[in-house]
Amino acid sequence: MVLDRAPYFQASAVTDLAARDDLAFVTLPAYSLELTPVKECWRQLQSALSTRVFDSRDEVTTAIDTALDQFSIPEVSNYF
């Protein structure tokens, strides 16, 4: 199982389950955005939305949908 260095991945509940099921953890190096491309997705969403003010949840949802539509297909396929 490949994990980043988030503290919740190191919690005893997670490590105990991994040991029970004989899973091995591979921890990514710190600040390795190229190895966790979903962070780039979040960066692009933040860039598209962070300077805006929204009056409703519907406006936020529409803005997110619009931003996601602007991601190119090859980029999105690399994220997941």
Residues contacting 24, CB < 8 A, separation 6+: 1, 18
Mean pLDDT score across all residues of the chain: 81
Query: Up-side HSE of residue 23: CA atoms within 13 Å toward CB?
Result: 14
In the chain, where the domains are located: 1-31, 37-80
* 16 confidence band (pLDDT: 50, 70, 90): confident
Q: 4 is written with which tokens?
A: 């980043």
Q: 35 is written with which tokens?
A: 């190895």
* 66 confidence band (pLDDT: 50, 70, 90): very high
Q: Is 11 helix (H, G, I), strand (E, B) or coil?
A: coil
User: Residue with structure tokens 């005893």?
Assistant: 12
* 15 confidence band (pLDDT: 50, 70, 90): confident
